Structure 1
């Protein structure tokens, strides 16, 4: 999907297209990307939903209502977890999810979610896991060395998919950064009358959302929408100079600059909303249209040159060549079942070689 829909959502000087064919194609892409709720709610807030065809409005509304129902189920489960953490004096910060939708999109259903992401402090991890287990969640993903979260899941009545809870103790891999999660905790803000429920400061929330988008190489429109929504919503609360200094101290500066460069390059009108204080970094990145040699140049730039130090780049290079068993399984999917570790690596290298050959034959 092109990024035209995001331009339509956030640059209101752009007229809604009159052609019904545009909306037919847009619906397929919107639903594939899982952004029906955002598109529906933002257009409705702006009073522009009625400028679109009725079939487009109806499909968006149907998806929005399904997403709202799911979000309400998830919110109920999340509140139970947060109450238990509060009762056991465990500090917790909800990341993204329903909390993010309510605070920054304006409604529980304005951004569909499928899981619960919670940030805790590492010294509380074992107690947090015990509470999660007692609430009926079982281990889905064990703790992985050098990673920063573990996952638990359980079946929820009324939902076709298991609900996953991810417990985070950081938001960036520590062996490829100098990230200090306490910098975020120190400026976190208490929520209401709760003693242990907190939220990230506006600056740090934006920082986290940008790093999350980088981790996925902005491969979905939802990452653009999250970042742009915060630029508009937080307005003067984002301090780019402060964030750049923080990222430099965390050795995540290249990641932050790459992400913001791509977002501002694709949506130059953002300079009028919040001026970027550095020159846009040129990359080979293209939204899902990147082909041939450029695809690999972008992959190398993202995978190896998004790091602030040679040491971190070398660690990532080693990880790329010899990924951990967890990352290996994720990269080759279901093909790993019943295979030895050696065969799993051979499967991975075969996939990579086949992909490279196709690229160079069609270049």
Structure 2
């Protein structure tokens, strides 16, 4: 349902639905996808907010205001971190977050943010961690083996949810790619007069946001909207030939083509903005046209065949068959230890497969 609404947002030639039932139904999807701020701001920017029912406007504005206040606080915290990194001569790039909202959605409140993601050089990780901790982010979360970031948080007065800072030194797993983060650092651009605070080039911002969408298998409209906004804002700066060359050199080509093919398939108007000439046929996971085993197969296709080499595919199959304890605990609902964790995981997977294959 949110997919249909977002299509209306990006095709202003179409009149918005007049059926109030549609707006009642879509509110839950908007909440699940975390896109209330985006929908509110785009409708307001287009002068079409008043064409929606009053209850819908009220709900969106309420969620937008919450997101705005949260983003203002997170911007304050991000600025403190960046100033400290500048003082300590640590190269740093803010990923996504409040600056992404300002640049690509047009306002700090136009895309709600819940944490702070910073890219640092691997050789600066120790001093970066010390710097983050010095500003009160002292709760260190368990490190995930094979991943490319570490997380620190601090409790906020009056809030049950802590604020998290993630320090990244890569954007994808090295074990299933030939990713070279130095390619991105070399073309990063200093922010204002800063010597150490930088931002990704437009092409690399697009590359990063596509990889981010792939990592989540585009399971929320927010990933579609991020990609669409960057295409719209950076249409002149994005060279798809260079994009493909970069993905080939990093062995991330299949995952990027898969991601953009799905986005362009669901939002055909993008070809009028910036034609993507490398599309292949993919069906959106969770689509109404995908049922039963086909839906399960689509997930397996994403999970194992998004890789450029047989070696990387085999590594990912091995990781899936015998994941780390952290990954197992995140996939099962029950608290357990040892071999029982894996038995519960395999049982859950087998149940899902049987539901997909057997007739209802």
Scaled by the length of structure 2, the TM-score of the pair is 0.97
Correspondences of 1:33-44 after superposition (within 5 Å): 33-44=33-44
Aligned counterpart, 1:247: 247
Aligned counterpart, 1:344: 341
Aligned counterpart, 1:283: 282
Distance 2:8 2:307 in 1: 33
SS in 1 for 2:166: strand
Distance 1:2 1:67, change over 3 A: closer
Distance 1:288 1:74 in 2: 34
Distance 1:154 1:87, change over 3 A: same
Correspondences of 1:124-139 after superposition (within 5 Å): 124-139=124-139
Aligned counterpart, 1:69: 69
How many residues of Structure 1 are paired with residues of Structure 2 in the alignment?
359
Distance 1:205 1:284 in 2: 25
Correspondences of 1:192-271 after superposition (within 5 Å): 192-271=192-271
Q: Residues 262 and 285 of structure 1 are in contact (CA less than 8 Å); yes or no, is this contact kept in structure 2?
A: yes
Distance 2:226 2:94 in 1: 16
Distance 2:286 2:236 in 1: 29
Partner deviation per Cα, 1:108-156 (whole Å, 9 max, x = no partner):
1100011000000000101111111121113443333321001111112
Structure 2's unaligned 5+ residue stretches are: none
Aligned counterpart, 2:52: 52
Distance 2:100 2:155 in 1: 23
Partner deviation per Cα, 1:11-59 (whole Å, 9 max, x = no partner):
1112111111111112221122111100010111111111112221111
Q: Residues 284 and 294 of structure 1 are in contact (CA less than 8 Å); yes or no, is this contact kept in structure 2?
A: no
Distance 1:284 1:15 in 2: 27
Q: Residues 151 and 165 of structure 1 are in contact (CA less than 8 Å); yes or no, is this contact kept in structure 2?
A: yes
Distance 1:89 1:324, change over 3 A: same
Deviation of 1:99 (Å): 1.1
RMSD: 1.3
Distance 1:296 1:55 in 2: 37
Distance 1:61 1:168 in 2: 33
Aligned counterpart, 1:28: 28
Scaled by the length of structure 1, the TM-score of the pair is 0.96
Structure 1's unaligned 5+ residue stretches are: none
Distance 1:140 1:299 in 2: 32
**Runs of 4+ with deviation above 6 angstroms:** none
Distance 1:314 1:139 in 2: 35
Q: Residues 102 and 108 of structure 1 are in contact (CA less than 8 Å); yes or no, is this contact kept in structure 2?
A: yes
Q: Residues 149 and 170 of structure 2 are in contact (CA less than 8 Å); yes or no, is this contact kept in structure 1?
A: yes
Distance 1:68 1:292 in 2: 40
Distance 2:326 2:38 in 1: 32
Q: Residues 241 and 277 of structure 1 are in contact (CA less than 8 Å); yes or no, is this contact kept in structure 2?
A: no
Q: Residues 2 and 26 of structure 2 are in contact (CA less than 8 Å); yes or no, is this contact kept in structure 1?
A: no
